[in-house]
Amino acid sequence: MSKTSLEIYFDGANESEMLARYQEGTAKGFTTNPTLMKKAGISNYAEFAQSVLAKIKDLPISFEVFSDDFSEMKEQARKINSWAENVFVKIPVSNTKGELSVPLIRELLDEGIKINCTAILSEDQIRGLREILNKNDEIIVSIFAGRIADTGRDPISVMKWAVDIYKDIPKAKILWASPREALNIYQAEACGCHIITMTDELFSKLKLKNKDLTEFSLETVKMFYDDAKAAGFTL
C-alpha cells in the first residue's frame, strides 16, 4: 500500500475552538460525540450542529446518533445526514447490549449515507465491519487506539493490520481515535492511517515538532521557578 497523507481532525464540541482551527487551516475535518457535547454544556443537539455546519461547509464533520435502539438510530441517522452534504453520521459499533450495528450500517450505506463507525476496539469488530463493506462505500473506521493502549496493549500492530485489510475499499479511511500524546500523530502516520483526531490541547502541541530539547528543558525549569515564585512558596 502506498504511503498515505495523514489528516488531522479536530475532536471537540467548542464551536469557537472548531472555527479557530478551521480558519487557520490545521484541521482537515471535525468530529464530536454526545459526551464531548455534554461536557461543553450543549443542551440543544441540532441547534449546535446546524450552527457549526452553517460556518464549516467544505470539510467533513461527524455527528453521532444517540439512541440505543437500531430502528431509532436509523431515523436519527437519516435526520443528521439531511443537515448538510459534508456530514458523516457516527454509528457506534454496537449498542449498549453489545449487539453489533453492522447490519444497520449496511442499510445506511445502501441509502448513500456517509458513515463514521465509532468506538471500535477489538479485532473482531474491525473484521466484522470489513466483511459487510462494498468497494464503493464511503466510511470512516474509528479505532480507539488510545483506549487500546490504556489496556496495556500496543495498538500499532492493530492499526497496521486494519489499514491493510481495508486497503481495497478506496473510500474507507482508518482513523486513529483517542490519542493521548503528540507522538501518536507520528505513529498513526507510520501505520498508514488516513486520519487522527485531536483535541484542542493536542493541536497546540503541533508547534513542538523537532523543538530543541535543551531549549525545551530550560523553558520547563523556568516554568517551575516562576510558578513557585508566584505561589509564594517558602521553606
Q: In whole angstroms, what is the distance from residue 43 CA to residue 47 CA? A: 9
Give the global pTM: 0.94
Fold that domain 7-210 belongs to in CATH: TIM Barrel (3.20.20)
The verdict on whether 55 is a catalytic residue reads no
In the chain, what are the domain boundaries? 7-210
Q: Is 172 helix (H, G, I), strand (E, B) or coil?
A: strand
- What's the pLDDT at 5? 86
| pLDDT means over runs of 10, the chain (235 residues) | 75 97 96 96 97 98 98 98 98 98 98 98 98 97 98 98 97 98 96 97 93 98 98 96
Residue 139 pairs in a beta bridge with 115, 172
Written as one letter, the residue type at 217 is S
pLDDT at 2: 39
Provide the CA 155 distance to its chain's centre, in angstroms.
Answer: 16
Backbone angles phi, psi at 153, to 5 degrees: -95, 145
Cα separation, 177 vs 188, in Å, equals: 10
What are the start-end ranges of the H helices in 31-101?
Answer: 34-39, 45-55, 70-81
Active-site residue, selected from the candidate residues 55, 74, 90, 114? 90
Q: Are 29 and 9 in contact (CB under 8 A)?
A: yes
Hey, which residues does 173 pair with through a beta bridge? 140
| Angstrom distances, CA of residue 113 to CA of 64, 76, 109, 140 | 13, 12, 5, 12
